[in-house]
Amino acid sequence: MCPYCSTRTPIHQTGPPDLRPLSVLRLTDTEWIQYRKDSGRGDTYKLFDREGWPKIRVVGFNDDTKSVLGACEPVGEEYIEVNWSVMDSLLFIGQRIEDQIHVALHHWVLATSDGVVFKSFGELVGQSSAFKTNEKIVLTLLVPSDLPEFLNSHMKEHTWNRLTPETTTSSNPLKKAKAEFHLIDPEASPNWKAYLDQRHKDNERVAEGLEDYMGEDLPFMYEKIEQAVDDVLLCTDLSEDERQKMHDCVVPLLPDVQDDGWGNVRSAGVLSRIYSAARPAAVDVYMRYHYRTRYESVEFFCNVYYRAHASVAKELKSSVPQSKKKLNGFKSLLEMGLKDLPPGRRWRAIEERSFDIDQAQVVGLHHILFGSQAAKRQGVEEGGEKHLSEKFGKADMLELMLAAVGVAFTTAREEEDDDGYDMGEMTWEGLQGSERWLGRNIRRVCGIEPMVGDDKDSEDEGAQDEDEDEDEDEDSEWEDEP
């Protein structure tokens, strides 16, 4: 019989929240030993419970919970501590807490001090920002009756834009855009009104998406895009204030990523819009990623596309490429993948890559996003500050476009530098080995001197079969298989 709800089953079944205080729900030592035995859950959680490992401190929110924690080790303190590891899961941490408080984790949740409530125990600690700190981690234990009060005072909210719009009484669209979006070296244009309307609409779309994660950590793709964008901006000649302005120009419209629950990305469809800070213009970037390991083969592709809006004169569409025959106005920036061969014992991983943007297209995109070269020359001749287009190089721009869809890539500019990805805690299989290929192509179209060894592949890059069939299946679709 369940000790919590008196049903005939020995283990508590999920149902309506039990609003009784923790002290009432706490089992005796004997009851807890029997409950653990009946649960049959095993001891896997003890693998990460080792002496000398870092500890999480768990505190109570109400007096009753604090008294229960005070009765545990260390006795007399209103908290308990449990070991944890970077390879841990919230479930394992919760089970260690259970063993100390003798209350099954069906009856309580954990929360961070900044208002993130872990509503389930299915998350890996590596996917939560709460565990990415060098300071001692402190979590609050909440029973269901605590939630309204806790959320009212601690609810974590998310925003994307860092800068607050300035006020203006002007009805001039350019002046309004400059005040609201902190433009840099803006050019005169009759299309600033359309730019204002479209950017408002896109910002509202992002804000509505972020509202879905109130009281939770953001999905990692938002954080990945933000970190990748910041890393690119930090390597430019922009001032700190200008970097914040350019950050707000990157608008993540569709950060859709699916992983396997263990940090391995299976598929992604990410759409971002990069607004110009100098012109009523924008560039959309879309990344499509797919990776599956089958019994006798591997499926992989990572394709990046762009769609230029040289002038935002009307409402912009947010459609994405559907297939190679239906790109919806996008052009290919790059494509990486494995040749589509029949699975079987004779299957081999044959890499296929194409870098499809050329130097003239790069120059055009740079003008769209950062303004005219004439304005740049005029600023230099007058001895004034560099124009935006001079502070932001062409290679910086391509890196920003990749960062906008979560692909963090650094292009080597000097011989002592290395081309490389920084994809964070999540694993993006298939990208490894393409670093030199991507770096040398970015250098080629951006007018950067080639590096020694640019004519060679990366050390771990697979050799191509000389007899490889170059024909592509133009009718192939990009639908992910379950």
Of 275, 289, 125, 272, nearest in space to 209 by CA: 272
- CA 262 to the chain's CA centroid: 15
Helices assigned H by DSSP within 40-162:
63-70, 90-101, 147-154
| Type of residue numbered 318 | S
Helix (H/G/I), strand (E/B), else coil: 421: strand
Of 217, 268, 209, 256, nearest in space to 90 by CA: 217
pLDDT of residue 463: 44
DSSP 390: H
**Can you tell me the distance from the alpha carbon of 411 to that of 401, in angstroms, rounded to the nearest whole number?**
13
For residues 402-422, give the mean pLDDT: 95
- Provide φ and ψ at 177, rounded to 5°: -65, -40
Of 385, 390, 305, 297, nearest in space to 338 by CA: 297
Both tokens assigned to 153? 């005072």
Residue 309 β-bridge partners: 282
C-alpha dihedral sign at 154, 58, 131, 302: negative
What is the residue-averaged pLDDT of the chain? 86
* 424 pLDDT higher than 60: yes
Contact by Cβ (8 Å): 288, 302: yes
User: Per this entry, what is the length of the chain?
Assistant: 482
| Count of other CB atoms within 10 angstroms of residue 87 | 11
pLDDT of residue 135: 85
Contact by Cβ (8 Å): 400, 238: no
CA distances from 235 to 309, 380, 403 (A): 26, 21, 13
Question: pLDDT, tens digit, for every residue of 24-47?
Answer: 999 999 999 888 888 877 888 888
pLDDT top residue among 17 and 268: 268
Place of tokens 């779309």: 205
Both tokens assigned to 258? 């699916």
Question: pLDDT, tens digit, for every residue of 182-219?
Answer: 999 999 999 999 999 999 999 999 999 998 887 777 78
CA distances from 41 to 3, 10, 11, 38, 45 (A): 17, 13, 11, 8, 9
pLDDT of residue 11: 52
CA distances from 274 to 32, 155, 250, 251 (A): 56, 30, 5, 6
**Can you tell me the distance from the alpha carbon of 193 to that of 467, in angstroms, rounded to the nearest whole number?**
56
* 314 pLDDT higher than 60: yes
* 341 pLDDT higher than 90: no
Residue 298 β-bridge partners: 293
pLDDT of residue 384: 67
Contact by Cβ (8 Å): 150, 251: no
Query: 55-60 and 79-83 as β-strands: parallel, antiparallel, unpaired?
Result: antiparallel
pLDDT of residue 437: 95
**Can you tell me the distance from the alpha carbon of 109 to that of 26, in angstroms, rounded to the nearest whole number?**
15
pLDDT of residue 480: 44
Strand runs labelled E in 236-339 = 250-259, 265-275, 282-293, 298-309, 331-338
Helices (H) and strands (E) in the chain, counts: 14, 13
Contact by Cβ (8 Å): 13, 6: no
**Can you tell me the distance from the alpha carbon of 11 to that of 3, in angstroms, rounded to the nearest whole number?**
8
Helix (H) or strand (E) holding 170: none
Question: pLDDT, tens digit, for every residue of 252-309?
Answer: 999 999 988 777 899 999 999 999 999 999 999 999 999 998 888 889 999 999 999 9
Instruction: Decide: residue 361, CB within 10 A, 0-12 exposed, 13-18 middle, 19+ buried.
Output: middle
